[in-house]
Structure 1
């Protein structure tokens, strides 16, 4: 029979900062002869020509320190106890935005095959910091909403009458050292005392929203 690597789950979507595992499976047929086994996990990011080594087990031996790109040192490991079951499970801890991409799982064990797995990383805009300030010397208020997440969110503003005020808002963003978007939206308005105003951070790609 042909040696075939299989992936039970071709796509993973995980939360930034969490721990995750992804796996590919290979036929063992009896008890595993570890000395014959080579497992290579590599990551390729969109727009980058070169792959990064995530973890390499060659002829049953892992290098010490592991043979891997600096981005994954201390965070990526292979669950060795699962190999005898024909499961090459890669564990990544404290997932970063830059971990997203396409992962190659190559197995060489009495035959060679490989498969690709896609990892997407999201960071929900969980906490919105809202501030209301009066404009000095004017009969106007400044309403400011700020939050961090990934991918880039759109910010919508509305009042109780669900009038869309987004056109009047000034929304800017910066990138944090973690690769998250720090989004700030400012709305200046002349208040109608009976109105409540809300800002909504909408993450189009994840179809998720948070409001304040």
Structure 2
């Protein structure tokens, strides 16, 4: 922002006083943006919001130009600015600064509601002034009435706008959200491809089913191997009780003979079952 004053060919910097103040709408007190007193910057009176951001271009003063430069502009910088100059006479000027911010970046998110068999599409962005959000499908059919749009104010004076569109999971269409900034006459869009989301959902369910099946087969094989191991151990104990001719020891009771014979039969059956299960697991 600039205001001018006459220098008549040369500038006596020690006689120059420049004051820049800002007054925002709805506030009674002005804020000191930058003060030049007798040619020197008076930073002690500068408002904290402008520290490190507002400066006077000193190389332009000799040309009779008091140019205020504000960097890292904020929404709160908008308002009316007073330029007051005292140099061989006093003069002042008011300048109105308008600040607008485009909704350039739109963040998208998808949330699946398993209990309701629905998907919620979310579009969120920040800008100024407040934008309207429109939704439509790939056939340009308006879905804005089905959306819920809310907003909050950020510390920088921007609007954080969030819009949510909820649809059924079986609706395989592409959707777009449009942020319309009326003051800038600007539209910013983001696209969401629901067909890809459905494919991802199906792949995830398929992977889960395969993992469960593989786990069940592994547990079954381990249990079968453990049972056979115990049966073989019992059978081995029975064999140690046989004599050198392969007959059961005469000292064994009838109960022990029956037990060993049953263990031999069970071991055979378990081996056959385990072999069959292993073959099925491989398939």
Scaled by the length of structure 2, the TM-score of the pair is 0.63
Q: Which of 109, 112, 116 pairs up with 1:131?
A: 109
Structure showing greater Rg: 2
Deviation at 1:177, TM superposition (A): 2.1
8 Å CA contact 1:56, 1:66 repeated in 2: no
Greater RCO structure (CA 8 Å; 6+ sep): 1
Pairing of 1:18-37 with structure 2 (within 5 A): 22-37=1-16
Instruction: Indicate the SS of the match to 2:26.
Output: coil
Residue in 1 aligned with 2:167? Answer: 189
Is residue 45 from structure 1 mapped to residue 24 from structure 2 by the alignment?
yes
CA offsets 1:108-151 (integer angstroms, 9 cap, x no match): 11121111111122221111111223321334221111111111
Deviation at 1:55, TM superposition (A): 0.7
Deviation at 1:192, TM superposition (A): 3.2
Residue in 2 aligned with 1:62? Answer: 41
Q: Which of 30, 49, 59 pairs up with 1:71?
A: 49
More helix as a share of residues: 2
User: C-alpha separation between the residues in 2 aligned to 1:97 and 1:203?
Assistant: 15
More strand as a share of residues: 1
Residue in 1 aligned with 2:189? Answer: 211
User: C-alpha separation between the residues in 2 aligned to 1:39 and 1:196?
Assistant: 58
Structure 2 gap segments, 5+ residues each: 191-283
User: C-alpha separation between the residues in 2 aligned to 1:60 and 1:112?
Assistant: 15
User: C-alpha separation between the residues in 2 aligned to 1:36 and 1:137?
Assistant: 76
Instruction: Indicate the SS of the match to 1:121.
Output: coil
Q: Which of 139, 145, 150 pairs up with 1:172?
A: 150
User: C-alpha separation between the residues in 2 aligned to 1:173 and 1:62?
Assistant: 41
Instruction: Indicate the SS of the match to 1:167.
Output: helix
Deviation at 1:197, TM superposition (A): 1.0
Residue in 2 aligned with 1:156? Answer: 134
Deviation at 1:59, TM superposition (A): 2.3
Scaled by the length of structure 1, the TM-score of the pair is 0.83
CA offsets 1:16-72 (integer angstroms, 9 cap, x no match): xxxxxx211111111011122111100010111111111111222222x34311211
Deviation at 1:155, TM superposition (A): 0.6
8 Å CA contact 1:40, 1:56 repeated in 2: yes
| Equivalent pairs, count | 189
Residue in 2 aligned with 1:117? Answer: 95
